[in-house]
Amino acid sequence: MTQYDVDLFVIGGGSGGVRAGRIAAGHGARVAVAEEYRYGGTCVIRGCVPKKLLVYASEYAHGFQDAAGFGWSVGDTSFDWARLIANKDKEIGRLERIYRGLFENAGAKTYDGRARLVDAHTVEVAGQQITAGTILIATGGTPVKPEIPGAELMITSNEAFHLPEQPKRVVVLGGGYIAVEFAGIFNGLGSQVSLVYRGEQILRGFDDDVRNHLAAEIVKSGIDLRVKTDIVKLEQATDGSLLLHLGDGSSIACDAVMAATGRKPNTQGLGLEAVGVALDADGAVQVDAWSQSSVKHIYAVGDVTNRINLTPVAIREGHAFADTVFGNRPRQADHADVPSAVFSQPPVGSVGLTEAQARQRYSAVDIYRTSFKPMRHTLSGRDERILMKLVVDAASDRVLGAHMVGPEAGEIIQGIAIAIKAKATKADFDATVGIHPTAAEEFVTLREKVKA
Ligand SMILES: Cc1cc2nc3c(=O)[nH]c(=O)nc-3n(C[C@H](O)[C@H](O)[C@H](O)COP(=O)(O)OP(=O)(O)OC[C@H]3O[C@@H](n4cnc5c(N)ncnc54)[C@H](O)[C@@H]3O)c2cc1C
């Protein structure tokens, strides 16, 4: 039998790679990992975690305004971008050390540097060549910018977390969750924000009622939302400000343009094609339900496979891979009914099928929906409404999808996701006693079908 330096080499120390390497080491495998940037990966360093910290920061603006209706007089407020970024960086540094430690404590060897395959069993990193019985590609993805003149002047989410100053006027390009979240962050922190998207409506893939409701809410919150809008070119004036030219001949003057127009899998220059690993047209590693690539001992998990690009999914895929290959416990990551949130303002939570998906798959679908003013805003006076919606299979009474726009939507939908995973029926929802007074109780008191 061939003797390799290690049993498993993990390329990428992000959500999926860390979990896979740590679990494999726990099963007794000799593990090495390479990370070219910072341990923790996109989610911890420049994704979910810092993003949520910035969302928290930006939510204070509403809090100060809403306090008056409850009798408070809030004095002059001011916001210090540099202090927020410094505090955020301190926390991210702490988390990064924890993630690196997870590997090292599990007995894995860490390499700092960009890795690539030199042959099907050999990884080159930091001037060394290491042979491995199994290789896991967990290299994640990278933001892409639109191909227009002046694109080099744009920032992406990567840079947005480290801007030396808060831009006073920002244009965010894109309609996905990252675009919508950053528009809310900058808006809450006091920047003037335009959200420009060439599609019909923001949040493609989410339920249409959610998309329309959120679009109306973010317009109310002061964001200049422009859908069905093409961009033509970006120019810089001598004073450093930017001018974004749009397809309709108009332009927007601003201090920063953030492209949140998509991400591509990190497979370039890894040497994958040369050893026979099949990639799809977008450059994602093609894998089966076991996360196994077209080369038997090379696996891939997380965003580099472009399945469901969320941290908990990458973690599940990495864990299932490690249990299967090194733990003698074959299992696949389950991609059904994955809940997700958009940390917009107000936020979105969603699990299961949208109404449109349900209508395609089931012959009769019942829709339960409500929209109401949150109790807090009876006194605050804020004009913001909650949306809640259940999508039900009429034949079996099973709840196929639950969707919400409103405060704590992510927290609420996480609980509802358990019910949906357990195949709860609408009758089960109705039999559940509400917690009063909450917004969440509306999910168990939706009595009237609005559509069949
Ligand atoms: C702005 C933003 C916000 C997000 N918010 C959320 C959220 O709220 N909730 C959620 O679930 N998901 C969120 N995501 C998505 C989430 O970050 C990803 O799904 C998750 O990080 C994927 O994990 P991964 O292990 O596949 O890749 P990553 O976490 O991207 O890790 C890949 C790692 O591989 C390293 N690497 C790449 N190439 C090489 C190489 N050749 N050699 C060595 N190292 C290499 C990279 O430096 C990186 O650290 C967000 C993403 C972004 C960009």
- 101-124 pLDDT, tens digit per residue, is 988 899 999 999 999 999 999 999
Instruction: List alpha helices for 10-80, DSSP H.
Output: 15-26, 41-46, 48-67
Q: What b-and-e string marks burial along 6-22, b requiring 16 or more CB atoms within 10 Å of the CB?
A: bbbbbbbbbbbbbbbbb
Which is the catalytic residue, given 62, 297, 403, 436?
Answer: 436
Ligand 1 atom closest to the Cα of residue 114 is 42
Gap from CA of 43 to ligand 1 centroid (Å): 5
For the segment 65-94, the average pLDDT, to the nearest whole number, is: 97
Ligand 1 atom closest to the Cα of residue 303 is 26
Is 311's C-beta closer than 6 angstroms to any atom of ligand 1?
Answer: yes
Per-residue confidence (pLDDT) for residue 241, from 0 to 100? 96
Is 349's C-beta closer than 6 angstroms to any atom of ligand 1?
Answer: no
**Strands (DSSP E) along 113-220, which ranges?**
116-119, 122-125, 128-137, 141-143, 169-173, 192-196
Q: Cis (ω within 30 of 0) for the bond into 339?
A: no
Structure tokens at 441: 């109780």
Q: List pLDDT tens digits, range 11-64.
A: 999 999 999 999 999 999 999 999 999 999 999 999 999 999 999 999 999 999
**pLDDT at residue 1 greater than cutoff 70:** no
Ligand 1 atom closest to the Cα of residue 38 is 49
Is 264's C-beta closer than 6 angstroms to any atom of ligand 1?
Answer: no
Enumerate the β-bridge partners of residue 196: 173, 226
Q: List pLDDT tens digits, range 163-207.
A: 999 999 999 999 999 999 999 999 999 999 999 999 999 999 999
Residue 121 annotated as catalytic: no
Is 310's C-beta closer than 6 angstroms to any atom of ligand 1?
Answer: yes
Distance CA 348, CA 258 (A): 22
